[in-house]
């Protein structure tokens, strides 16, 4: 377990900023205003990035590297080429700080959870003024986060699409917990 390097931090923050926007700074601010306030940090275990409280990360430094499997919330992993890929385990954090959102009707939940993209006919509503290729969090109509993706069109362009036009490309969905359960948490 180690802190992220400068390059890794820039890559991670660029990916997170695509989904959270300006609220990215809320991820790392201290939890309260006291002088000994605890804050959240990012730690790298093997190739996976974890989001964890600093006090817990300090305690985990006493665990042998081979014995430490996970720590906090896994946000994703770095590929061998240095790119960062968000995992579905990052959904609670992204949903809490999301800038743009897409709500899917009940007839579109299952196609999305089975790994499909979101078409216009399945969209119940979406955030206003969302640009093209922007990270969005996908919700059901009762505000349950289902996953996240990237917009295929801006909000204005998506309104003019036919019902079978793709509005959002799926990046991750809650169905991955079942589809990829063997490899999701494996090294």
Phi, psi at residue 115, to the nearest 5°? 100, 10
Same domain, 85 and 106: no
Number of domains in the chain: 2
CATH number at residue 155: 2.30.130.10
Domain span holding position 139: 100-178
Residue where one domain finishes, among candidates 47, 64, 92:
92
Same domain, 173 and 152: yes
Task: Write the CA distances from 76 to 63, 93, 137, integer angstroms.
Answer: 22, 12, 16
Same domain, 88 and 104: no
Global pTM reads 0.88
Residue where one domain finishes, among candidates 65, 92, 119:
92
Pairwise pLDDT comparison (37 vs 135), residue with the higher score: 135
Residue where one domain finishes, among candidates 92, 111, 135:
92
Rounded percentage of the chain residues whose pLDDT exceeds 70: 97
Residue 183 in domain: no
CATH number at residue 40: 3.10.450.220
Express each pLDDT in 74-120 by its tens digit.
999 999 999 999 999 999 999 999 999 999 999 999 999 999 999 99
Task: Write the CA distances from 51 to 119, 123, 144, 175, integer angstroms.
Answer: 32, 31, 22, 22
Express each pLDDT in 54-63 by its tens digit.
999 999 888 8
Same domain, 76 and 128: no
Same domain, 68 and 6: yes
Same domain, 13 and 73: yes
Rounded percentage of the chain residues whose pLDDT exceeds 90: 67
Same domain, 6 and 83: yes
Q: Are 108 and 118 in contact (CB under 8 A)?
A: yes
Express each pLDDT in 134-150 by its tens digit.
999 999 999 999 999 99
């Amino acid at each position: 377990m180690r802190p992220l390097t400068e390059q890794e931090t820039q890559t991670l923050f660029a990916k997170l900023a695509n989904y959270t926007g300006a609220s990215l700074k809320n991820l790392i601010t201290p939890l309260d205003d006291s002088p000994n306030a605890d804050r959240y940090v990012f730690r790298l275990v093997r190739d996976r990035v974890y989001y964890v409280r600093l006090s817990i990360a300090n305690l985990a430094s006493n665990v042998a590297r081979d014995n430490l499997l996970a720590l906090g919330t896994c946000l994703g992993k770095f590929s061998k080429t240095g790119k960062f890929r968000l995992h579905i385990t990052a959904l609670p954090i992204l949903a809490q700080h999301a800038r743009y959102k897409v709500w899917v009707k009940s007839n579109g939940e299952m196609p999305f959870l089975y790994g499909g993209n979101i078409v216009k006919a399945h969209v119940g509503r979406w955030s206003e003024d969302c640009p093209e290729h922007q990270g969005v969090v996908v919700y059901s109509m009762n505000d349950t986060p289902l996953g996240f993706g990237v917009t295929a069109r801006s909000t204005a362009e998506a309104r003019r699409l036919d019902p079978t036009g793709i509005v959002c490309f799926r990046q991750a969905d809650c169905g991955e917990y079942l589809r990829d359960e063997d490899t999701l948490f494996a090294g």
